[in-house]
Structure 1
């Protein structure tokens, strides 16, 4: 992922109506297993990137905002419906697969491991946090031994 302070990373929804950019490296990149993220993206987990809010801007269009819980806004494209973002008072995150080049992402953790679906297993060796990175990891690596 871009590491220089002035490097620009771009992304968009599926149809391209909503486009964004941010400058500098992400503040955090991980996989979230919470039910809210799963329901918003209709997937078994979501890979997200927390960015510096002051370096982020929409360059084309604006997402439709859905208040999913008190203090939490989730954005999606009003035309194609693609989920784009998660925002609360302390962070702004975009979903990794909205990046123009998602190969730039290198997740460093799993959060909300307490809500991980029992039928999904990711065989990486990243720390798993019950809630978020401020906690002690509940484990490092998969629940099951990978053979």
Structure 2
């Protein structure tokens, strides 16, 4: 049996990645940092162990968005592709070639949710990042 390999990349194609295996978690993030870094009311992420995520084309620009985390993005087109924290890599689901294969399981940081943005999906919601 072969492991699933999910490719993806940025808008212009300068960055390409592969995520191997199944993600540990997938969810919506409503935190203010994700809102500001994406320009969207929320972002959907897929969490992988760092060793399961690798760049196969290009090198990302990096921005330390908090004391613990860093954003990896394309310096050419500006696409934010991944977030890293500790031993984990969290590519943005919209950057995968087949994002439909990764369905969110929960919402985090809903205490920062923009009130006019609601996803009536019945998924569990957490005011912060509690599992």
TM-score bin, normalised by smaller chain:
over 0.9
Does 2:29 match 1:44?
no
Q: 1:72 aligns with which of 60, 69, 72?
A: 69
What's the C-alpha RMSD, in Å, of the aligned pairs?
A: 1.2
Counterpart of 1:124 in structure 2 is 121
Distance 1:5 1:126, change over 3 A: farther
Counterpart CA distance in 2 for 1:5 and 1:110 is 30
* Residues 106-145 of structure 1 deviation map (CA, whole Å, 9 limit, x = unaligned): 10000001110111111110000111242xxxxxxxxxxx
Runs of 4+ with >4 A deviation: none
Gaps of 5+ in 1: 135-147
What displacement does 1:19 show? Answer: 0.2
Counterpart CA distance in 2 for 1:73 and 1:5 is 31
Give matches, 1:1-147, under 5 Å. 6-134=3-131
Counterpart CA distance in 1 for 2:2 and 2:31 is 31
Q: So what's the TM-score if we normalise by structure 2?
A: 0.95
Gaps of 5+ in 2: none
Larger Cα Rg: Structure 1 or Structure 2? 1
Q: Secondary structure at the match of 1:31?
A: strand
Q: So what's the TM-score if we normalise by structure 1?
A: 0.85
